[in-house]
A and B are shown apart, each in its own frame.
Chain A
Amino acid sequence: MTDSRPLMDRPDGDLPPTTAAEAVPQRSRRPAWQTFAVYAVLAFITLSVVAEIADAPALTGSGTWGAALRVGIPIALAGLGGLWAERAGVVNIGLEGMLILGTWFGAYGGVEYGPWWGVALGIAGGAMGGLLHAISTVRFGVDHIVSGVAINLLGAGVARYLNIVTFDDRTGATQSPRIGGSVGQLDVPFLAGGDLFGWRSPSLFGWLDRQDWPIVSDVGAVVYGLTHNITFDVLLGVAMFPLTWWLLWRTAFGLRLRSCGEDPVAAESLGVNVYRLKTIAVVVSGAMAGLGGAILVLFASIYREGQTAGRGFIGLAAMIFGNWRPGGLAMGAGLFGFTDALQLRNEAAVHAMLLFVAVLLAALGTRALVKGKAIPGVVMLVFGAGFLAWWLLTDEYPTQWVPFTPHITTLLVLAFASQRLRMPAADGVVYRRGEGR
């Protein structure tokens, strides 16, 4: 059996080994995060070289990466919501509905009381959706997917109804008035030259960005883009990732919560209150989606019907893509955000991505061949050659194809990598206290 561990490190606080794969003694090797770092560096160098060859500076431009963060964070938070629920064993397909609730309540708070109230009410709105899901799945034992579908329906209906009742006479049925004011933004001190107690710190990466050094300046641009002009609501969203990781993987509370997702019967027998933990997890899940919704409306300064555009579902996909881990999930959401941002800013850069994919496939194919996996290796090399030909023979990527490109990527990644994914063992299973297994 192969090692079922994900690319990312599995900290010591992780669950006891339940699968045979994990009980096998570890091969001696580098810590996983080092492997990951090596891959990340290689991928970035490739991206930088591709940007140079294909003359598409937007690929590594600070603007693109800054936009990717803002566009990706609602998806990431929806995914994080999914992570909380599914780690406790509750599938939450109602994230889309909770995200919608977050957008409307976020807009309501923003319009009536100011942007920070928007954030607070958005979180509360999402959490209410989560509570409903928790009541129906945990207390009443309703099938998780069924309840989620109903919540998606309800979320859309409630938002539309409330919008008509509240704002129809001002701005019509399907949108809210503009949200005035802003939550404010910051440049990270030293990295992007933010203020520190009134003193303007130097901007290390901004300076790197302005130099014309190969690769290093690109690193500067990307970090500068990610640390410059960050609004505080986005910052709050980003902070949820380390917070979630710490809570779920470093505290007793987190261990108990995750044990409900792996084996609720065993957890109950050890004195864990499974119902309560599952309920908390699903409410937090809704709150995360609600925060994502609030960030979405604050970025657009307005609520529009259909604004979420399936981001709740995409977040769920990003979570699976990321193997039910915050780090992987952030990468998955980053992929969607990055593609969205590219599409918004620069179509030439999208075309250049074909070359990047070609190089990536060539590298993965060669690696598979070296490892003795002939068939996947050859398949990837052939596809790589196909992408190279596509890049060479065309001048642009069809504009209408850009929006769904990340979805094709997700499908392909899942097709090739799903064997390495491991969801919580009791995920989606209705647990009834006292009914045993």
Chain B
Amino acid sequence: MARRILLAVAAPVLAMAIALGVSSLVLIASDNSPLEIYRSMWSFGTQLNSIISMINRAVPYYLAGLAVAIGFKMNLFNIGVEGQYYFAALIAAIVGAAFTLPSVLHVLAILIIAMASGAFLAGIAGVLKATRGVNEVISTIMLNNIVLGGFGAWLLTRARYDDGSGSLQIATKPIAESGRIPNLNGWLEAIGIDVPAGARLTGFLLVAIVVGVIYYLIIWRSRFGFDLRASGMNPWAARSSGVDAKGMVVKAMLLSGGMAGLVGLSSVLVENGRFAGDFQTGIGFTGIAVALVGRNHPVGVALGALLWGFMERSAQRLDLEGVPKEIVVIMQGTIVLSVVVAYEVVRRARAAQQQREVSAQVDDERVADTSVGVPA
């Protein structure tokens, strides 16, 4: 038993050790003291406004991670979260600014529009896979390139809104106040936390938490989730137990795309109130890394997203230390690789352990059998 627990914690610990080791080597190779650098990152990253910044960064990473994780749960690789969230945020910003509704309804409407747009784009890949056998990795990469390689920019120039300020920034029309989500600074102050000037905790955190819970319920507590995981673990068994494989592919892609649709809304609904030309891209790819690190579990993905947010925030300190902050990207890549390697190594160790236990049991039973069978 103790051995089992040891095996369970072994993988993440091993992964962190490898990642820290490699990063330290890189730091030493460039004439820096790793310990000092880590200490400096830690002390900067744990200040209150750093923590708020970390959470703000982590929220979209989390949603992107969950979107990727849904696909992974049935061995589908939605690499297109990148294009889906860009497209969805743009459509939601354009459509959401075109009408007003009472406050909560307006926000809900925009969330639904974004989810539908993301699901639409992912659905193309799902339908192509189910009906034409097109590999979803390739089709979603193509869709990414279509959206980010010009179609998005084309849509944005069509929807350009001139607010009269003479700014060169291309942006959509601002969404009415009723469609925005406020920040949570008021809540923080209500529980006695003094928010530093300039820091704003994103209200989208609440959406992310709700989505995380829903993800858990769908995947682990619903019939659909069972079919999804079964299709991922053993497609043949799932099919013979009556799961409609093609239908599952389409549904999983729609769900993944729908979740991807929410990724960009923290920026649109909370921070800017509109979609601007400098909209942050690349979160979809971060989501893949975060889903891998978090092992597709809602809590794990949350930890992964927070880790990424922490590293990116505390990296800002590094330039002051004379270390290029890009070392963080190397750390992140190393973490992903070492997490997957560590889990694979531990999985094998665990399988060997199980095999030993089973064979020990079988031996015991055999001994018992023979002792009964021997006449007295």
Given contacts A154-B334, A415-B132, contact A404 B149 (CB under 8 A): yes
Q: Which residues of A contact B26 (CB under 8 A)?
A: 161
Distance in angstroms between the alpha carbons of A419 and B341 in the assembled complex: 35
Q: Indicate whether B219 reaches chain A with its CB closer than 8 angstroms.
A: no
B137 and A153 form a contact (CB under 8 A): no
A136 and B341 form a contact (CB under 8 A): yes
Given contacts A149-B292, A400-B153, A404-B145, contact A418 B329 (CB under 8 A): no
Q: Which residues of A contact B77 (CB under 8 A)?
A: 145
Q: Mark B57-91, 1 if CB is under 8 A from A, else 0.
A: 00000000000000000000101000000000000
| Most A-side CB within 10 Å, residue of B150, B285, B288, B292 | B150
A419 and B289 form a contact (CB under 8 A): no
Q: Indicate whether A52 reaches chain B with its CB closer than 8 angstroms.
A: no
A414 and B340 form a contact (CB under 8 A): no
A419 and B133 form a contact (CB under 8 A): yes
Q: Indicate whether B236 reaches chain A with its CB closer than 8 angstroms.
A: no
Contact of A153 among B138, B141, B149, B289 (CB under 8 A): B289
Q: Which residue of A lies closest to B157 (CB)?
A: A400
| Interface hits, A289-348 → B, CB 8 Å | 310, 313-314, 316-317, 320
A96 to chain B, nearest CB (A): 10
A237 to chain B, nearest CB (A): 22
Distance in angstroms between the alpha carbons of A149 and B79 in the assembled complex: 10
B81 to chain A, nearest CB (A): 12
A401 and B154 form a contact (CB under 8 A): yes
Q: Indicate whether A411 reaches chain B with its CB closer than 8 angstroms.
A: yes
Q: Which residue of B lies closest to A410 (CB)?
A: B142
B151 and A149 form a contact (CB under 8 A): no
Q: Which residues of A contact B277 (CB under 8 A)?
A: none
Q: Mark A133-167, 1 if CB is under 8 A from B, else 0.
A: 00010001111011101111111111011001100
Q: Indicate whether B299 reaches chain A with its CB closer than 8 angstroms.
A: no
A158 and B157 form a contact (CB under 8 A): no
Q: Which residues of B contact A150 (CB under 8 A)?
A: 289, 292, 333, 336-337, 340
A136 and B132 form a contact (CB under 8 A): no
Contact of B330 among A146, A161, A411, A414 (CB under 8 A): A161
Distance in angstroms between the alpha carbons of A314 and B148 in the assembled complex: 14
Q: Which residue of B lies closest to A160 (CB)?
A: B326
Distance in angstroms between the alpha carbons of A79 and B137 in the assembled complex: 15
A375 to chain B, nearest CB (A): 13
B147 to chain A, nearest CB (A): 8
Q: Which residues of A contact B132 (CB under 8 A)?
A: 414-416, 418-419
A161 and B135 form a contact (CB under 8 A): no
| Most A-side CB within 10 Å, residue of B146, B154, B345, B348 | B146
Q: Which residues of A contact B333 (CB under 8 A)?
A: 150-151, 153-158
A140 and B345 form a contact (CB under 8 A): yes
B329 and A153 form a contact (CB under 8 A): yes
Q: Which residues of A contact B292 (CB under 8 A)?
A: 146, 149-150
| Most B-side CB within 10 Å, residue of A314, A402, A404 | A404
B129 to chain A, nearest CB (A): 9
B257 to chain A, nearest CB (A): 16
A interface SS class: helix
Q: Indicate whether B165 reaches chain A with its CB closer than 8 angstroms.
A: no
Q: Which residue of B lies closest to A310 (CB)?
A: B145
Q: Indicate whether A268 reaches chain B with its CB closer than 8 angstroms.
A: no
Sorting the interface of chain A by its residue count into under 10, 10 to 19, 20 to 34 or 35 or more gives: 35 or more
A400 and B150 form a contact (CB under 8 A): yes
Distance in angstroms between the alpha carbons of A83 and B135 in the assembled complex: 16
Distance in angstroms between the alpha carbons of A291 and B133 in the assembled complex: 32
Distance in angstroms between the alpha carbons of A404 and B336 in the assembled complex: 31
Q: Indicate whether B360 reaches chain A with its CB closer than 8 angstroms.
A: no
Given contacts A320-B135, A320-B138, contact A415 B128 (CB under 8 A): yes
| Interface hits, A386-421 → B, CB 8 Å | 398, 400-404, 407-408, 410-411, 414-416, 418-419
Q: Indicate whether B370 reaches chain A with its CB closer than 8 angstroms.
A: no
| Interface hits, B82-114 → A, CB 8 Å | none
Q: Indicate whether B250 reaches chain A with its CB closer than 8 angstroms.
A: no
Distance in angstroms between the alpha carbons of A156 and B292 in the assembled complex: 18
| Interface hits, A104-148 → B, CB 8 Å | 132, 136, 140-143, 145-147
Q: Indicate whether A359 reaches chain B with its CB closer than 8 angstroms.
A: no
B157 and A149 form a contact (CB under 8 A): no
Given contacts A142-B344, A150-B340, A160-B329, contact A93 B289 (CB under 8 A): no
B16 to chain A, nearest CB (A): 15
Contact of A418 among B134, B149, B154, B337 (CB under 8 A): B134
A414 and B134 form a contact (CB under 8 A): yes
Distance in angstroms between the alpha carbons of A344 and B273 in the assembled complex: 36
B134 and A407 form a contact (CB under 8 A): no
Q: Indicate whether B327 reaches chain A with its CB closer than 8 angstroms.
A: yes
Q: Which residues of B contact A160 (CB under 8 A)?
A: 324, 326, 329
Q: Which residues of A contact B151 (CB under 8 A)?
A: 400-401, 404
A411 and B332 form a contact (CB under 8 A): no
Q: Which residues of B contact A313 (CB under 8 A)?
A: 141, 145
| Most B-side CB within 10 Å, residue of A93, A161, A401, A416 | A161
**Could you show 12 A-B contacts with beta carbons less than 8 Å apart?**
A93-B137, A132-B337, A145-B77, A145-B137, A146-B340, A147-B340, A149-B289, A149-B336, A153-B289, A158-B333, A404-B151, A418-B133
What 16 additional pairs, Cβ within 8 angstroms, besides A158-B333, A404-B150?
A: A142-B337, A149-B336, A150-B289, A161-B329, A164-B326, A168-B324, A173-B326, A316-B138, A317-B141, A400-B157, A401-B154, A403-B150, A408-B146, A411-B139, A415-B128, A418-B133
Q: Using a CB–CB distance below 8 Å, which chain B residues touch chain A?
A: 26, 30, 77, 79, 128, 132-135, 137-139, 141-146, 149-151, 153-154, 157, 285, 288-289, 292, 324, 326-330, 332-334, 336-337, 340-341, 344-345, 348
